[in-house]
Amino acid sequence: MPQMAPSLWLIIYLFVWVMTYSLGNMMFYSTTDFPSSKKTTFSSEMMSILWQ
Span 30-52, pLDDT tens digits: 555 555 545 556 666 766 777 75
User: For residue 1, is it within any domain?
Assistant: no
User: For residue 17, is it within any domain?
Assistant: yes
Q: Which pLDDT score, from 0 to 100, does residue 19 have? A: 85
* Alpha carbon distance 14, 17 (integer Å): 5
- Segments forming the whole domain that contains residue 23: 6-50
User: Residue 13 above 60 pLDDT?
Assistant: yes
User: For residue 38, is it within any domain?
Assistant: yes
| Dihedral sign, Cα of residue 24, residue 26, residue 30, residue 32 | positive
Mean pLDDT of the chain: 71
Q: Which pLDDT score, from 0 to 100, does residue 33 have? A: 54
What is the value of pTM for the model shown? 0.38
Q: Which pLDDT score, from 0 to 100, does residue 22 have? A: 79
**What average pLDDT does the segment 21-26 reach?**
76
Number of domains in the chain: 1
